[in-house]
Structure 1
Amino acid sequence: MTSTEVTTESEESGPSGYAAARLRLLQEKARSGPPRRAALAALTDGWLNALFTTAAEETGVGGAALVAVGGYGRGELSPRSDLDLLLLHDGSADAAALAALADRVWYPVWDLGLALDHSVRTPAEARRTAGEDLKVQLGLLDARPVAGDLGLAAGLRTAILADWRNQAPKRLPALDELCRERAERMGELQFLLEPDLKEARGGLRDATALRAIAASWVADAPREGLSEARRVLLDARDALHLTTGRATDRLALQEQDQVAAELGLLDADALLRQVYEAARTVSYATDVTWREVNRVLRARSVRPRLRAMLGGGKPVPDRTPLADGVVEADGEVVLARTARPEKDPVLTLRAAAAAAESGLPLSRHLVRHLASSARPLPVPWPAEAREELVTLLGAGEATVGVWEALESEGIITRLLPDWERVHCRPQRNPVHTWTVDRHLVETAVRAATLTRRVGRPDLLLVAALLHDIGKGWPGDHSVAGEVIARDMAARIGFDRHDVGVIATLVRHHLLLIETATRRDLDDPATVRSVATAVGTTSTLELLHALTEADALATGPAAWSTWRASLVSDLVRRAAAVLAGEATPEPEPAAPSAEQERLAIEALRTGEPVLALHAQTEAPSEDGAPEPVGVELLIALPDRPGVLPAAAGVLALHRLTVRAADLRAVELPTELGDSAGLLLLSWRVAAEYGSLPQAARLRTDLVRALDGSLDIRARLAEREAAYPRRRGVKAPPPRVTVAAAGSQVATVIEVRAQDAPGLLHRIGQALEQSSVRVRSAHASTLGANAVDAFYVTDADGNPLPDDRAARVAGEVEKALG
């Protein structure tokens, strides 16, 4: 059925016929994308034309037109799009007749449940409103007649375009500000896990803004790939509307697989990668276009004064040399007139490094020229090319814009072929802020601030750029990344030794943070394993800086002063081992004065004793000590069930456990005998910022131990009320025995979805397995918890392999 046939049927059948034809159109699998949007607009035009024509005859109103504006005016009707309509009239009809005409058009639309944005104005009123409201003016730029007096509608469109062009010096800066405010509020589409296809930066709003800029005749957007990017975003919105049945632009997690299937894509990752590619194209075009707009407007304001100063002569823009073959002209980096990209293979990286160092953007024409005519670099790269890459990576924040400009024309993939695998690749972990490729660049930006701490800044910067390069391949990304990084470092021109160091950094880039937060640093086996993996003090120094840069570039949940203190402690211990210092065998640490005081009090009363202390480290730059957490000390007579009871009480009081240490001590009694006590040292943080009183914690702990407080029931109530995302299913928990994790205990590692009372349930399972918990180390990243428990048998010895496996299985079963 053609669009004309559908329109004819709608005219003959009225609203019910239009609704039926509309439903059939949306259900046609063979017609989607631009053809379906055009057919839907044509179908709607025909129906509204019939409505308006009949209504105009019945009310006797002449000199009026029905005009589509905004998205409907552009013919971009998605299944649940609003109908943006303007009833335009010449002012000759009386108000009652005009109101009757409007009612006969608006009410049938509402009766079908379609969203309607409507107004009734004369051309003069429409122009005046547009002059006062930028959003109204933008909508009218796409005005298209649907029915009635076509000349009236055409006259309005001509006047609106003329006003827009005449007012461009004032309106374009206002539009720029509007786009910036929206981007600040909604974020960048290409990096969001649940992006808004319309409002986020790089979305459909920005694509529409580019059309408005082109209509002003001040500047035009880069056309390469822009129409295709717009199509991808519109297709994704169509599929989202059909999948959800709602007028939504937010691509929520639970709907992404269904939207991908509607579009014929493999999975949600394929969908996001396609959407991110489109958003990146729109974002880059937006950056380039606004830069050109500002340049033109600036030149218009300056040119009359220059001409007056120069006696009417035409000014010649300054060209400031930046590097060999590279100059600055009018605020952009361009090629010198003598530059020959086809004969100078290093020119691309030299221009990029010069732009980043000077904080200037690369000219779009320069990037396109280099992409089409630059001579490929030999492999391995010459020393100058390697140095220019390091300079580019070490420029800090300015690196990002330059790198994205090179990526927009495929230059990065030509320089580093393995980059294609991570380009626009989403990361399905809410801890991560960026896509894989942008995260790598951001890590290099963070590493640039740490280069004064290391002896080989070049190795740090390149390792930062490559540390997650393995995420484009199946399996452990650190293992795959080591192989890829080795090849890429050799390609870049590093010698064999440096290639080995970069490969080691990539392979072990998670080693320090995972060990520091999940292992017992007082266990010599922990420190020796790190020292063995790293090999040298210089590599350890680089790995320390890379760990911090990686975490800072991941997101706010990945790094804290507490994590930094743990990593620094591990690095200090590993450096001592690498320097040849003997590692002492583990001995029970003597209780601190505070712990001893609490232990004596617990021994005297026979009840738990608690104390809360805020911990701080050295003063920060502003002179104030920075908190590293709150220490909760508990001393109580040794008895079964202490770990699950204490963990449960902390969960009830909404305290997050970052680390825990449990030790049994013997203290002499007044009768000369010795009594067993448990000392628990917890590092905790309040979920909502305020800590409970120690007395309340103690009261609930006593009740939990004597059975009068049913922690399991209370936590079950909390869990039932916990908000969950519809359709999002967490992966099952995984409990493993860490091989060679310790010489003094068996290390049970638990990976699970974080939830209230998780540590309580783990403690219960370990308690039921009749093992003793020597220490516990909790680490939470986003929705994922990774906890390690050092356990022994009743005599304090590591568990035999078969028993350790059974304990791990019981814990996993309990969590499942």
Structure 2
Amino acid sequence: MTAPRVPGQRAIIDRRELAERIAALADEKGGEARPQVVEALRGALDRARAELARRLAEKPSAGHDCAAGHAFLIDQLLRVIHDYVTGYVYPAANRTSGERLAILAVGGYGRAEMAPHSDVDIAFITPTRRAPWCEQVIEAMLYLLWDLGLKVGHSSRTVSDTMRHAREDLTIRTALLEGRLVWGDGALYEELRERFWKEVAKGSERDFLTRKLAERSQRHKRMGDSRYVVEPNVKDGKGGLRDLQTLYWIGKYMHRVETASQLVDVGLFTRSEYRSFRRAEGFLLAVRCHMHVITGRAEDRLTFDLQREVAAAMNFAERPGKSAVERFMQYYFMQAKRVGTLTGIFLAHIDDEFARTTTRSGFFAGWTQRPRKLKGYMVEGGRIRAPGDDWFADDPVRLIEIFQLAEAEGLEIHPQTLRQIDRDAKHIDGSVRSDTRANALFLDLLAGRNDPETALRWMNEAGVFGRFVPDFGRVNAQMQFDMYHHYTVDEHTIRAIGLLSQIERGLLENDHPRATREIHKVGSRRALYVAVLLHDIAKGRGGDHSVLGAEVAQNLCPRMGLDERETDLVAWLVLHHLLMSSTAQKRDLTDPKTIEDFVGEVRNLDRLRNLAILTAVDIRAVGPGVWNSWKGQLLGELYDASAERLRLGHKEKGRKQRVGVKKDAVRALLGDRATLVDEVGAKLGDAYWIAEPEDIIARNLVQYAEARAIEDRLSIHCEVDEERGATLVSVIAPDHPGLFYRMAGGIHLSGANIIDARIHTAASGYAIDNFLVQDQHGGPFREDGQIARLKKGIRDALAGTGSLVPKLAARPLAHSRAKAFHVAPRVDFDNSASNRFTVIEVTARDRPALLNRLAHALYEANLIVQSAHITAYGESAADTFYVTDLIGSKVTAPERLAEIEARLLEAASDRRQEQLEKS
């Protein structure tokens, strides 16, 4: 293998001039020349890197040129270093046959694909073991390379040892596959190559393929198993450079091709596919090179902060509705998607090759499965294929039909047919999109009974989905630049459809029992599937995607064959798809007005069922760990309360009746301690009894009685609540101003996140406050050490031990990457959401002690917090407070609201956080 030609080589590094300068130094200073030699080499390296960085800035998408330029630079340095060491450090006038050395570039360096700070992978090949001269030369070369700050991966072996290790170790075998002679003994290198193909590669092709694919699968799992994760690893992630390299390795191992372009000659790629290969590879290499230049180190993870800088470096500009970074990442994901398509086609062809060359033996010798026909298609070995090359061009509706058949029959699509689909997708035009049969087939696929997710993903990868539904094509590979959404919009949508299908098939009953039960009662299952498809269809258009998406639904649903009633339902679901999650997570569900307002918008049970199911799959499809039992609990409470109201048409019971019923339920839970309901419960007003669930009231009453019996002025009880997926922290203490903000600070200092809080004051003057808290991973605090830390944090905070504010500001946020985002603080007041309280919602960038600072601002504004509901959306937080003034009234005066808003904005600002961190 030879390195690609690099233009303007001498402007990068002039090897002859550098060698002459080093020779002059060696002649002048002899054995003391080493420091000056290192300095000369370092100067050449720095100037070359600067020149290559300049070229990259000038041509920011020239990934191949940049990578080849860095490989060329290392080649020249290695040659100069070798000649200096063998000529001046360890000169050998008459070398023996054992004193020969070949220097090979292996791995990415061998392929001449190096980012600015890539490892330098070298294999030193010698004829025999323990040749002293060779060992001295290798050691001296390595020390010089290390002195230059290069990260060197190296091996030193004989040809025979190399063959033995290559047979045993897949990594070594892969590295050698790309071995390239940089300098030294050419005959030794040729011997190595010949023996590698003869002794290692021959006959082991299937083994290499199997192990490489297993290695690839394990790598994908480590990296998130999706090419659409929002902080992708450019090198090792799914759809990254390593996937393209894997194709080349397999192709080279099986067909002994020297360059990727020869994959066309052996039939593994068409010329068009190879151009896609080169385009994707060049772009990914350019992105990786920019990341190395920007960070000054070997960085392969495209983090949020880097995304902005790389987008700017690659000259991506802002467009209406889309920022520069979103446009850059959309293009990135389009390339990653193309890598996935190429991988599928390539591997299926390899599989076909093996199938053709595998000889059956025993009972099945000479037997082959007979193909069958399915609506004109051929089906063989579980794969469906087109019967001819013009099949789709003759009737483009078949481009939809084949995916519908694959889903309905549980078939894969033949790789040759996938190639045809990819080529002929351009035939999908307005006439196909308006074709009644095409739309009926698409709807059958979308609401398929088997596995619509997989078939839709194939359709998307093949470029058919976006052409048939252009609005979906607009969100294809579109990322959402935040820390909440884990996937691109199209991937999120397809995952949500898959989750809906799994719920309908009863596969997620443990996590979603209510949705599993209610999905079979919806008026139109196909309308629900279309609503899931369209719920985020209008993202990136520069307006409210719910409103714009409802407009898309009104136009698209009739085209798909939905009637007027179904169309109205889909449009309503898209318009309000965030209503249920927002209400459940940000509002007090024990406040009757919350349920009244929600039911007033929903209006009927069928809408409620559809919305509840859509909400569940939407949240769960955001990413791993986003759905949890606490969210399930909140949505369940909202659903049950709303369903009751819709069925009865009114509140089942008045205030006194509701309190009476709840007291009876608590008595039943307390058993022989039921008298506590009258003894302790009498000190608590109706608001407490309505706000708290029966099980928490029972715990509070027992805790209050026991705390008063031992005259404990501060009682803290922590208990894991499995049903809510959190730890319940109940604090009983003498009420005083500022109690809530101090407790919030103490809880945060212990490492816990508050997800819900209710604050009550008994007639005795004691506060009974209930918090639900989780750890940084969204789970309950379980360990004894965690619980002890939680209690100590609250006690210290209430006792005033030390200053809370500096400690809280110094505590690192679990998501320090949030600093890559700007979230403008916002304060919203709502005096219609509750009959008794003013509801204040504060949205801000999540950071240490945000809740504590907001609670302190409310305290300084002379407000009483009755309940707090905390919701995190990646880098941003939405904290909702139900408050009254000091006499228990709502806050309505405009000047008073303006004062409160100013205090909260100051507490939530990034500037305030910076001041606290400095102090």
1:288 aligns with 2:345: yes
Post-superposition Cα deviations, 1:339-372, rounded to whole Å, max 9, x if no partner, equal 9434544322221122234443322322332344
Q: Post-superposition shift, 1:499? A: 1.9
Secondary structure of the equivalent of 1:333? strand
Partner of 1:33: 63
Residue of structure 2 in register with 1:23 after alignment: 49
Shift of 1:769: 1.4
1:445 counterpart letter in structure 2: G
Q: CA deviation at 1:387?
A: 4.1
Superposition deviation, residue 776 in structure 1: 2.1
Tell me how far 1:544 sits from its aligned partner. Answer: 0.6
Q: Distance in 2 between matches of 1:161 and 1:404?
A: 39
Please list, as runs of the form range in 1=range in 2, the aligned pairs for 1:501-520 lying within 5 A after superposition. Answer: 501-520=569-588
Q: Any idea what SS the aligned residue of 2:274 has?
A: coil
1:812 aligned partner: 905
Task: Please state whether the residue corresponding to 2:865 is helix, strand or coil.
Answer: strand
Q: Paired residue for 2:384, among 333, 345, 355? A: 333
For the 8 Å contact 1:748–1:788, the answer to whether it is kept is: yes
Distance (Å, rounded) in 2 between the aligned partners of 1:720 and 1:685: 16
TM-superposed deviation, 1:442: 0.3
Q: CA deviation at 1:566?
A: 1.7
The within-5 A match list for 1:473-492 is 473-492=541-560
Residues 9 and 388 of structure 1: is their aligned pair in 2 closer, same or farther, counting only changes over 3 Å?
A: farther
Question: How much identity, in percent, do the aligned residues show?
Answer: 27
Q: Of residues 135, 138, 145 in structure 1, which corresponds to 2:181? A: 145
Which residue among 834, 838, 842 is the counterpart of 1:742? 834
Q: Closer, same or farther in 2 for the Cα pair 1:805/1:319, shift >3 Å? A: farther
Report how far residue 436 of structure 1 moved.
1.4
Residues 673-692 of structure 1: pairs in structure 2 closer than 5 A: 675=764, 678-685=767-774, 688-690=781-783
Instruction: Tell me the alpha carbon deviations over residues 581-635 of structure 1, each in whole angstroms, 9 at most, x when there is no partner.
Output: 224776734645555565667788593555445546xxxxxxxxx4544444445
Which of 335, 350, 370 is the equivalent residue of 1:278? 335
Where 1:791 maps in the other structure, the secondary structure is: strand
Asked if the contact 2:345–2:418 (Cα under 8 Å) also holds between the matched residues in 1, the reply is no
SS of the counterpart of 1:478?
Answer: helix
Distance 1:717 1:792, change over 3 A: closer
Q: Distance in 1 between matches of 2:558 and 2:790?
A: 58
Question: What CA deviation, in whole Å up to 9, does each residue of 1:447-472 have, x standing for no partner?
Answer: 11234433322111111122112222
Q: Which moved more, 1:393-402 or 1:204-213?
A: 393-402
Counterparts of 1:49-64 in structure 2 under 5 Å? 49-53=79-83, 58-59=91-92, 60-61=94-95, 64=101
- Asked if residue 761 in structure 1 is aligned to residue 853 in structure 2, the reply is yes
Q: What CA distance in whole angstroms lies between the structure 1 residues aligned with 2:402 and 2:820?
A: 46
Cα distance in 2 for residues equivalent to 1:385 and 1:106: 65
Can you give the 5+ residue segments of structure 2 that lack an aligned partner in the other structure? 1-6, 23-36, 256-266, 318-323, 505-518, 657-685, 690-696, 910-919
The equivalent of 1:551 in structure 2 is 619
Q: Please tell me whether the aligned partners of residues 341 and 375 of structure 1 are also in contact (alpha carbons under 8 angstroms).
A: no
Deviations 1:206-256 (A, max 9, x none): 221111111133783553511211111111111111111112322233333
Shift in alpha-carbon separation, 1:146–1:643, aligned structure 2, 3 A: closer
Distance in structure 2 (CA, Å) of the matches to 1:702 and 1:173: 59
> For 1:46-445, what aligned pairs fall within 5 Å after superposition?
46-53=76-83, 58-59=91-92, 60-61=94-95, 64-91=101-128, 95-103=131-139, 105-162=141-198, 163-188=200-225, 190-217=227-254, 220=268, 223=274, 225-266=276-317, 267-303=324-360, 309-310=365-366, 317-321=369-373, 323-336=374-387, 340-373=391-424, 376=429, 378=431, 381-382=434-435, 384-395=437-448, 398-445=451-498
Between the aligned partners of 2:385 and 2:773, the Cα distance in structure 1 is 55
Counterpart of 1:468 (choices 527, 536, 552) is 536
Larger deviation: 603-612 or 534-543?
A: 603-612
Aligned counterpart in structure 1 of residue 745 of structure 2, from 619, 627, 648: 648
1:761-800 to structure 2, matched below 5 A, reads: 761-800=853-892
Change (3 A) 1:768 1:290: same
Question: Alpha-carbon deviation of 1:576?
Answer: 3.7
User: What is the DSSP-based 3-state SS (H/G/I as helix, E as strand, rest coil) of the residue aligned with 1:564?
Assistant: helix
State the alpha-carbon separation in 1 of the partners of residues 714 and 67 from structure 2: 70
Q: What is the CA distance between 1:176 and its match in structure 2?
A: 1.7
Does structure 2 conserve the Cα–Cα contact (< 8 Å) formed by 1:341 and 1:347? yes
Mean Cα deviation higher: 449-458 or 406-415? 449-458
1:554 and 1:580 mapped to 2: Cα distance? Answer: 35
Q: Aligned-pair distance for 1:53?
A: 5.0
On the 8 A contact 1:7/1:42 being kept in 2, the answer is: no
Q: Which blocks of at least 5 consecutive residues in structure 1 are unaligned? A: 617-625, 667-674
* Worse-superposed segment, 297-306 or 22-31: 297-306
Aligned AA (1:685): Q
Match for residue 531 of structure 1 among 599, 602, 610 = 599
AA aligned opposite 1:363: H
Q: Given that residues 523 and 586 in structure 1 are in contact (C-alpha distance below 8 angstroms), is that contact kept between their aligned partners in structure 2?
A: no
Are 1:733 and 2:825 counterparts?
yes
Give the whole-Å Cα distance in 2 for the aligned partners of 1:363 and 1:39: 40
Q: Which amino acid aligns with 2:330?
A: R
Q: Structure 2 counterpart of 1:659, which letter?
A: D
Q: What is the DSSP-based 3-state SS (H/G/I as helix, E as strand, rest coil) of the residue aligned with 1:522?
A: coil
Q: Name the SS for the 2:902 alignment partner.
A: helix
CA contact (8 A) 1:380 1:493 kept: no
Change (3 A) 1:627 1:523: closer
Moved more, 71-80 or 752-761: 752-761
Asked if the contact 1:517/1:777 (under 8 Å) is kept, the reply is yes
CA distance in 2, matches of 1:377, 1:389: 15
CA distance in 2, matches of 1:594, 1:197: 52
Deviation (angstroms), 1:638: 4.5
Deviates more, 1:544-553 or 1:122-131: 122-131
Q: CA-to-partner distance for each residue in 1:633-671, whole Å, 9 max, x for gaps?
A: 4455554223223323333444432222234454xxxxx
Is contact 2:102-2:189 (8 Å) kept? yes
What SS does the corresponding residue of 2:877 show, helix, strand or coil? strand
Aligned AA (2:584): A
Partners of 1:229 and 1:282 within 8 A in 2? yes
Q: Which residue of the partner structure matches residue 669 of structure 1?
A: none
1:490 Cα offset (Å): 3.5
Asked if the contact 1:25–1:36 (Cα under 8 Å) also holds between the matched residues in 2, the reply is no
The secondary structure found in structure 2 opposite 1:251 is: coil
**How far did 1:503 drift?**
1.5
Matched, 1:662 2:715: no
Question: 1:250-296, CA deviations, whole angstroms, 9 ceiling, x for partnerless residues?
Answer: 22333332223333334433333333222222233233333443444
Give the 3-state SS of the residue equivalent to 1:166 in structure 2.
coil
Q: Number of residue pairs matched?
A: 791
The 1:770/1:200 distance shift into structure 2, 3 A limit, reads same
* Distance change (3 Å), C-alpha of 1:412 and 1:7: farther
State the TM-score, normalized to the length of structure 2: 0.78
Contact 1:661 1:682 in 2 (8 A): yes
1:497 aligns with 2:545: no
Instruction: Please report how far the alpha carbon of residue 540 of structure 1 lies from its aligned counterpart in structure 2 after TM superposition.
Output: 1.5
The equivalent residue for 2:507 is: none
> What is the rounded CA distance, in whole Å, between the counterparts of 1:699 and 1:67 in structure 2?
61
Map 1:710-725; keep pairs closer than 5 Å: 710=802, 712-713=804-805, 715-716=807-808, 719=811, 724-725=816-817
Mark the CA change 1:353 to 1:645 in structure 2 (over 3 Å): closer, same or farther.
Answer: same
Q: Matched residues in 2 for 1:724 and 1:200: separation?
A: 22
Q: 1:549 to 1:729 in 2, by over 3 A?
A: closer
